[in-house]
Amino acid sequence: MSRDYRQVLAGLGSGLLVTDGGLETTLIFQEGIELPHFAAFPLLDSEQGRKTLRRYYDSYAAAARRSGAGCILDTPTFRASPEWAAKVGYDRPRLERAIRAAVAFVREVRRDWETPSMPIVVNGGIGPRGDGYSGADSMDAKTAEDFHGPQVRLYGEEGADLVTAQTMTHIGEAIGIAQAAARAGIPSVVSFTVETDGRLPDGTNLHDAIMATDTATGGAPAHYMVNCAHPSHLGSALEASGRWIERLRGIRANPSPKSHAELNESTTLEAGDPDELAVLLRDMRTRHRHFSILGGCCGSDHRHAEKIGLVCQLV
């Protein structure tokens, strides 16, 4: 059975949820695993792959426990949409089985680690249909809802607590996923990515993206986030006031300040400094005390999560 994600948020008070981080970059650079098309979900098909994934998730649950924070764990399904799945040999029935298995897998991790003082939220992750670093692959909301709807519904059926539209580069796809989640009766979060200038890859500023999505969906998302961007990239974007900033609840940050284009060309892990990233996020949370969901993204691992959990608790 899933739990009420909004109730988890309401019960946090000044508490903190840390997220897991760069699953795919950890697998590629630290585990030496090839991930064609950045797809991690095929690892669920083998015993060795499942052991590798379990080691990854256990490391984050342990980091959250040591830091005294709660935890959000994503399903390994960033690329589990029909077109990306087809590129790694999955037809729709096989993809459906993989998505169901992914939710069950993370729910099992929760069963083994959750305590009354450490809530664990199971998040159905949904990556963009196109390139997460480009705003060129845009969709209108209806097309996005039709495209992502089956994946969203599966998360609801299998007991995920919410779905998150991750690394959204434009508004249309974000709106479509939020609408699909509303129809499926599962809470949604929209997480935009930004370039070094604080704007979405298609040039939209963060304020406009959040307000437009809220307007089109009747405020359907539980809240908004930013992911796959360094804290410095947000810059002056977070200096504005108003309702829109209250709708933003956190960031999953890259440890490296490099641009998306630079990261895309990197042949080494851009892991940055866990202490430095934690301090940057602490400073951000000090200014915006409602930011209660923090973590790392590409290049980060459980070390970053633990530092964030330790350093970013409000006093």
Task: Report pLDDT digits (tens) over 16-29.
Answer: 999 999 999 999 99
- In the numeric block, the tokens 């409000």 are attached to 314
Residue 2 pLDDT > 70, yes or no?
Answer: no
DSSP run (H or E) holding 99: helix 92-113
pLDDT for residue 237: 83
CA 134 to centroid of chain Cα atoms: 17
| CA separation for the pair 180, 99 (Å, rounded) | 16
Kindly report the pTM of this predicted structure.
0.96
pLDDT at 301: 97
Give 241 or 56, the one with higher predicted confidence: 56
Residues 274 and 304 sit within 8 Å (Cβ to Cβ): yes
- The rounded mean pLDDT for the chain is 95
The rounded percent of the chain whose pLDDT value lies above 70 is 99
Q: List the beta bridge partners of residue 162.
A: 123
* CA distance linking residue 145 with residue 142, whole number of Å: 5
Does the pLDDT of residue 230 top 80, yes or no? yes
Q: Which two tokens stand for residue 305?
A: 């999560």
Average pLDDT over residues 56-73: 98
Q: What is the pLDDT of residue 95?
A: 99
172: left (phi over 0), alpha (psi -120 to 50) or beta: alpha
Q: Which two tokens stand for residue 179?
A: 């609408």
How many residues are listed for the chain in this entry? 315
What angle, rounded to 10 degrees, do the helices at 47-67 and 92-113 form?
40
Output 179 or 11, whichever has higher pLDDT. 179
What is the average per-residue pLDDT within 51-80? Answer: 98
CATH topology of domain 16-313: TIM Barrel (3.20.20)
Give dist(CA 250, CA 235) in Å, integer: 14
Lowest mean pLDDT: which of 180-194, 256-270, 271-285? Answer: 256-270
Q: How many Cβ atoms are within 10 Å of 111's Cβ, its own excluded?
A: 9
